Amino acid sequence: MPSRVLYVGSNQGYCVFLVEPRSSEILLCTPAPYAALSYCWGSDQMVTLTTTKSTYEEHRRGIGLDLLPKTLKDAVIVCRGLKIEYLWIDALCIVQDDADDWRYESAQMQEVYGNSYITIAAHQAESCVDGFLGQQSFGQPAWQRPFYVLIGTGESIKMHLPTGSESWKWREGSPLMRRGWTLQEALLPRRILYYTGHELVWECDTKILCECGHISDPVYLRHRDPVLKTYTEISCNIECAARQ
């Protein structure tokens, strides 16, 4: 597990806690599943809640959900829904004004994302205050094609088929895909849950599935090629070394 994670629990508590799984206080006998968040901070970083030297102990005592920017709060909701008790978010799990801590932790991204049980990717959110849960465009009437089906009794029932004709383009305009730093966050995880703004997309090393059913071609998995994955890990290490 990472050096620090947020304990979000599996209930509806109003706080999350910054914990150190390797510390003597909370030493876990076996690594626990955790989720990692891939998201955009946004241009106004003053609205991003961060862990600093001055807030570190306070965050260990608890962070109220009402203090979290919406994207971070949505990630907590997803984790609780999936019964995942731990969540890694860079802004809160790295001490942002500690240069030594930042250098060390930023060099661990291949471990953080590579060992995550699942990575939550908030693709449509321009900023951490936007959030990613809520209505999706493919669920709106404009994207639903109605048709009628005869059932055994001879009765005709109305059904809806999502068209999703532009579903394969969701990566192109994604704010998350316009950030160079998040390339590693797309390549290193074993499982990714994409919140695209259009629909929910699942991706792992062997399969990619979307709600509309239009994403099924293995070509979408090319970016998970082991060679490219190794190249990305090396690139991440080089970038982190260059920052030192």
Domain ranges of the chain: 5-134+188-243
- Segment 70-108, tens digit of pLDDT: 999 999 999 999 999 999 999 999 999 999 999 999 999
CA–CA separation, 38 and 233 (whole Å): 16
Stated pTM of the model = 0.77
Q: In terms of Cα–Cα distance, which of 185, 184, 139 is closest to 162?
A: 139
- The highest-confidence range among 7-21, 110-124, 174-188, 221-235, by mean pLDDT, is 110-124
- Segment 37-58, tens digit of pLDDT: 999 998 876 778 999 999 999 9
The whole-chain average pLDDT of the chain stands at: 79
Q: Are strands 5-7 and 15-19 parallel, antiparallel or unpaired?
A: antiparallel
